[in-house]
Each structure stands twice: as structure tokens, then as C-alpha cells.
Structure 1
């Protein structure tokens, strides 16, 4: 089965962790490229504020975690040499794609965001028909979704929508969302600066809806080059995956359509202005 995995790691940045060092990002990119055709099929490496972010495709069950440890250990040495060595905290998010040879995947990266940043976005995308029109018009989405939460709790919408919202209101966290037929729709990282991987297309939210919901969440939507953590921010990379190869990315928030959203976010708090 095919899969996409995102690793993000804090290896230090400048000044005071604001921006990952380009030599560290370059070291990671070269190391992963050297593994193409082996443990991984393809890769893309960038920065998300002070974090280095790595997107790889592979067969599900491949030893990508061990490969990541090796690559990031080498990158940590480069970080030490540049004098910006950080804590080295790694977050991993994997989205299985099944046996399908083609898929459309959005990779949301965050900078300056708190744990649970995607919980309300999950609820709006997969449980709110006033926000996500596919819940009304798409027969596959209309069947509902399963929200897999911390502690093993599972809520099936639309029947348990209120229970899901109560769980989130009490501080619960959503880990992944599945369509009722078992298709994994989205999975979120846990901890600070969590990444989000979600599929778009038939039977799932469309690209524009996903971008709009995420941009209205209190996270400032920005292009990759603006990911400095001066307030909670998100960037979105759009990929087509074809036979495990990454087509893209498209930097989807590098778009004047989101300018009004940006200017209505307070830089100091990330809260939207009424």
C-alpha cells in the first residue's frame, strides 16, 4: 500500500529559532534524494519557520522512521556547525493511500501553532454541512465520517456530531478522520506546530473548501517564505501523487485571495479581528 509521510523537526534556526538554516534544509534534501528508489520513492524538503519539513512517499510499512532518524542525525550535525542547534523534536504524520496509483494530497504546515490547532477545522470540514457543501451534495460524504480521537474515543457523524463537539470543547484531540467506508481522509500531528495531511477529490472536501476552512481558523494563511512564527501561521502545499511520485508542490496560500484574511489577524495573538 502506498503512503505519504511528513516529518517536521526543530533543529534550530536564526535568530532565536525563527528560520531554519538553509544548509540544514539542503543537507536533508540531498540525503533523502539519495534514498529515492529504496526505502522511499520520492521526497520534498522545505522549511516551516524554524522547523525543517520533509515530505516522502513510500510503501506502507517501509522503515521510513529509521531512515528519518539517520537523515536528521546528519542534519543535526550540520545545525551544530552553523551554531543554531535546536531541540531536535521530531513529529511524524503518515497518510496511507491504499493501492491507488493516483491521489490528491494537501500538506498543511504550521509555525507558532499550539497543539490541537486542527481540531475545529476537522469538525467544520467533515461534520458541518453549512461549511462543507459536499456533506449535502456528495453521496459518499453524506454517509458521514469517523473521528478517531485521543484515548481511543471514536465519534461517528452525523449521528454523534454533538458528542464530538462536546469532546473537543472538553479539550479532546482529533487524531484522524475516516470516511464511513474506511477511507482515511485526514491525519494530524500531535504537539506544537502540528502538520496536517488530508486528501481531496471525489467523496472528500474539495481544495477550495479545505483552504477556506483552514484560513478561517485563526491560523494566518501564508506562503512558505512567510512562515516565520511571529503569530500562528499555516502554509499549504498541494501535491498530486502519481505512482508514488510527487507532482508539485503548489504553494496554495501564495495567492492574493487570502490577503484579506491575513490583514484581519492580529500579529501578536493570531486571533481574528471582529
Structure 2
């Protein structure tokens, strides 16, 4: 099987009704860019979404983590959406694009990035949690329900390897420490 990289890249490049939403024209521009990326062969697949006033690009490709071409593609897509936001006089147009120009990697330039390289299997479902104006603790309950609740995860009950239990490491971001339960 071949290796595939999943890149989730998000940026706030202009809010519709303040911080509440992304204007449909901005999403259409980003979607058009993603379709061009797929047609050109840069991307295997892609999805444009929004959370709050952030545009989220979920991209699959074969170029590995921190691929300059993919990061430039995302940067240019966000710039194109920023132009739409400016034309529409939207709030905070381009506010997450902190650098004046692309320098080879989008990390540290404002947008949020999470990437994972995997060996692709015939069925490879994944989920991207998107959030705006929150902290990682927002995911505590959904992650617990997915992986730790025997009412949702039958494998915790039927798999003999799980009968001895498991340990959870919980991180306190305010105190910068972790505890294992």
C-alpha cells in the first residue's frame, strides 16, 4: 500500500456576521481551489469546511508532512478567500495570515496545521475535530465517549485484552502537568 498524508489546515481569513460564520462566496472560492488541486494531481482528494469564522481545508496527498507545494497551495487558497472577504468588506479579512509572503512552510505563519502520514488501507476512515475560539479540553467528553465508554465501544467489553482495564493520561494545560488514571 502507498503512503498518504492527511493535512488539516485552517485559517480565519474573514468573518461573516463578526466571528460567527464564513461567507458562502469565500467557501466557494476555497472549494474551487481544492478542485483545481485535485485536477492538477497535487491532491488526491480534499474537502472544504468551516467552523465559526475559520475555513478548514482537509487535504489528502502523497507528498508527506510539511510538503512545501501543499502548504503553498493552502496559503494561496487562503489568500484567494481573503480577497473575497475584502471585496465583501467582511470582518477581519486575512487576520490569520501573519506573514507577508509564503516562505516554504505554513507553520508559524498564522494558519493552524495538523498532518498525519499513514499507510493507506482499503478502508481508512478518519475524523477531523474542528473548533474555533476554544481549547483542547473541548474534546474531552467526545474523545472519552469514543474510546473509553463501554456503552459506545463494545470492544472494551468483548476484547479479552481490555479486561484488565486501561490507563488514561489527562493533561492540565493551565498547570502544565499530566495525571495517569
Q: CA deviation at 1:21?
A: 1.5
Count matched residues. 157
Normalising by structure 2, we get a TM-score of 0.69
1:134 aligns with 2:140: no
Q: CA deviation at 1:40?
A: 0.9
- Deviation readout 1:157-205 (Å, 9 max, x if unpaired): 82x43xx13x34865599xxxxxxxxxxxxxxxxxxxxxxxxxxxxxxx
- Residues of 2 paired with 1:124 and 1:104: CA distance? 18
1:17 aligned partner: 19
- Deviation readout 1:50-76 (Å, 9 max, x if unpaired): 111222111251442222112212222
Greater relative contact order (CA < 8 Å, ≥ 6 in sequence) = 2
1:57 aligns with 2:53: no
- Residues of 2 paired with 1:120 and 1:170: CA distance? 18
The 5 Å alignment of 1:170-209 reads none
- Deviation readout 1:215-271 (Å, 9 max, x if unpaired): xxxxxxxxxxxxxxxxxxxxxxxxxxxxxxxxxxxxxxxxxxxxxxxxxxxxxxxxx
- Residues of 2 paired with 1:173 and 1:40: CA distance? 39
SS of corresponding position for 2:156: helix
- Deviation readout 1:63-102 (Å, 9 max, x if unpaired): 4222211221222222222111151242222243313243
Instruction: Structure 1: give runs of 5+ residues left out of the alignment.
Output: 145-156, 175-274
The 5 Å alignment of 1:51-130 reads 51-61=54-64, 62=67, 63-84=69-90, 85-88=93-96, 89-129=110-150
- Residues of 1 paired with 2:11 and 2:159: CA distance? 37
Which protein shows a greater Rg?
Answer: 2
Higher strand share: 1
- Residues of 2 paired with 1:95 and 1:173: CA distance? 25
Contact 1:97 1:103 in 2 (8 A): no
- Residues of 2 paired with 1:171 and 1:39: CA distance? 42
